[in-house]
A = this chain, B = another copy of it.
Amino acid sequence: MSKGLDHETLNENVKKVQYAVRGELYLRASELQKEGKKIIFTNVGNPHALGQKPLTFPRQVVALCQAPFLLDDPNVGLVFPADAIARAKHYLSLTSGGLGAYSDSRGLPGVRKEIAEFIERRDGYPSDPELIFLTDGASKGVMQILNSIIRGSRDGILVPVPQYPLYSAAISLYGGSLVPYYLEETANWGLDVKNLRQSVSQARSNGITPRAMVIINPGNPTGQCLSEANLKELLQFCYQENLVLMADEVYQQNIYQDERPFLSARKVLLDMGFPMSKEVQLVSFHTVSKGYWGECGQRGGYFEMTNIPPQTVDEIYKVASISLSPNVPGQIFLGLMVNPPKPGDISYLKFVQEGKAVLESLRRRAHIMTNGFNSCRNVVCNFTEGAMYSFPQIRLPPKAIEAAKKLGKVPDVFYCLKLLEATGISTVPGSGFGQKEGVFHLRTTILPAEEDMPAIMESFKKFNDEFMEQYEDYGGYSRM
């Protein structure tokens, strides 16, 4: 007789989940690392793991919150600046019991207020702290919202392809149906509303009702920054089709072009005025994991709800209560992110310099990578306008595709495994994010240290060009 945790009796939805970012490639890379090979982990957007230093001021504040007894220590001023001390006192005053007490399940009211003020400054419209929920990273919020929406396999969620696999994985886990819509590689991964319409009508003809739509702006893995016109079109589309818009805006600080600064879906929606501004249901996500913060390990995220009925907000609150409270240090990081040092503060200049240095270096790295990829045989790559990734198309020769099939591997997995074995560069195959049939990509982060970049790109080029040499038979390529 089988038991509850035997593999064959597990919840089928759990088994169906696919999660490539930490899939076969990552597992193989971990093995190779254990065997002593030097691995360059570019599979996850994890800046500190690749040497990015944390911003000093927020770390000082959180360290003091962890060690509140230091606030009475006569020597504290020797190791912490006065504004960090003041800020730690401020955050401790927002808790009842410090970092060791569960907070309200939605997060500390004082931090939610700071977030609301940030949103108001950013968008020019007031925001209600009662509609902001803190979470252990944006991922947990995304999962909670999907879990609330999805009732079964006839509920569809529109997801961009290529997409960050959090979405496909969570939709599988909760038993819904992913409805893909394709981003246009030839238009720098732009979003074409025609594609959306097509996806919706195809889903409908399969008996699936699209109930929500995900956008990732700036995009992961594609890096595109949506224009205001584009955002307007897609909000109009959500309005017409009665779709909840889930706006994943975790990369809003990561912009590497100047023509299209970040615009939140919320601002564009509210700009569009009545009736849309009161009708479209929107949930927006943000995090301390990205931007020039990169505080992934702290797990600080939030979501903000617009036009969600109060009864639904109550249900979401109730479900959040089951796991009691998001981690409190992560909440303090969020407070600091939305309320950074101000001109005149002791730590202001240093803080600004540290942040700028990160973003400027990322922009330079985005250029080095795009140029590097485009100099390789059979590789074409859009510029990384935003976020932290490069997503080159790899035009695999038919002989390489055959060789992969013989080994029972998806062709891009085959290519990425070979790349890993040859160079130690750990990427994620494009198939992990979804891509058009017969077109192949890989995703890498732009996060390796700037000084290492040229050598990494050289090592990539050497591998790639030899690979192409080996498999090319001048017969033709996979091509979009």
Binding site for B on A (CB under 8 A): 1-7, 9-12, 14-15, 17, 19, 21-22, 44, 46-52, 54, 56, 59-60, 62-64, 66-70, 73, 75-76, 78-79, 95-103, 105, 136-137, 139-140, 143, 145, 147-151, 166, 169-170, 173-174, 211-212, 242-244, 281, 283, 289, 294-299, 305, 308-309, 311-312, 315, 318-319, 321-330
Bound-state CA distance A299–B73 (Å) is 27
Bound-state CA distance A101–B293 (Å) is 11
Q: A66-B66, A151-B12 are in contact. Are A299 and B326 (CB under 8 A)?
A: yes
5 closest cross-chain pairs (CB), A and B: A297-B328, A48-B97, A4-B244, A63-B67, A49-B97
Q: A254 to nearest B CB, angstroms? A: 16
Q: A137-B324, A212-B4, A297-B325 are in contact. Are A67 and B59 (CB under 8 A)?
A: yes
Bound-state CA distance A47–B244 (Å) is 40
Bound-state CA distance A15–B312 (Å) is 9
B151 and A46 contacting across the interface, CB-CB below 8 Å: no
A297 and B67 contacting across the interface, CB-CB below 8 Å: no
Q: A69-B56, A79-B76, A312-B5 are in contact. Are A296 and B319 (CB under 8 A)?
A: no
Bound-state CA distance A14–B305 (Å) is 18
Q: Please pick, from B3, B60, B100, B309, the residue contacting A5 in the complex, using a CB distance under 8 A.
A: B309
Q: A22-B105, A46-B97 are in contact. Are A322 and B143 (CB under 8 A)?
A: yes
A147 and B329 contacting across the interface, CB-CB below 8 Å: no
Q: Please pick, from B6, B289, B322, the residue contacting A169 in the complex, using a CB distance under 8 A.
A: B322
Bound-state CA distance A70–B6 (Å) is 48
Contacts of A323 in B (CB 8 A): 136-137, 139-140, 143, 166
Contacts of A47 in B (CB 8 A): 97, 100-101
Q: Please pick, from B3, B150, B211, the residue contacting A242 in the complex, using a CB distance under 8 A.
A: B3
Bound-state CA distance A212–B297 (Å) is 33
B242 and A49 contacting across the interface, CB-CB below 8 Å: no
Bound-state CA distance A70–B64 (Å) is 12
Contacts of A211 in B (CB 8 A): 3-4, 9
Q: A11 to nearest B CB, angstroms? A: 5
Bound-state CA distance A226–B78 (Å) is 51
Contacts of A46 in B (CB 8 A): 97, 101-102
Q: A99-B297, A137-B323 are in contact. Are A312 and B6 (CB under 8 A)?
A: yes
Residue among A56, A62, A97 facing the most chain B CB atoms (10 A cut-off)? A97
A100 and B294 contacting across the interface, CB-CB below 8 Å: yes
Extra contacts, 17 of them, besides A19-B321, A137-B324 (Cβ < 8 A), are: A3-B243, A4-B211, A4-B212, A5-B244, A5-B305, A7-B315, A10-B148, A10-B315, A14-B148, A14-B319, A19-B322, A21-B321, A56-B69, A76-B79, A98-B297, A169-B319, A299-B328
Q: A284 to nearest B CB, angstroms? A: 13
Contacts of A147 in B (CB 8 A): 11, 14, 173
Bound-state CA distance A244–B330 (Å) is 34
Q: A229 to nearest B CB, angstroms? A: 24
Bound-state CA distance A294–B97 (Å) is 11
Q: Please pick, from B10, B60, B305, B324, the residue contacting A149 in the complex, using a CB distance under 8 A.
A: B10
Bound-state CA distance A96–B10 (Å) is 33
Contacts of A321 in B (CB 8 A): 19, 21-22
Q: A256 to nearest B CB, angstroms? A: 22
Q: A20 to nearest B CB, angstroms? A: 10
A327 and B148 contacting across the interface, CB-CB below 8 Å: no
A148 and B70 contacting across the interface, CB-CB below 8 Å: no
A324 and B64 contacting across the interface, CB-CB below 8 Å: no
Contacts of A145 in B (CB 8 A): 5
B312 and A324 contacting across the interface, CB-CB below 8 Å: no
A140 and chain B: residue at smallest CB distance: B323
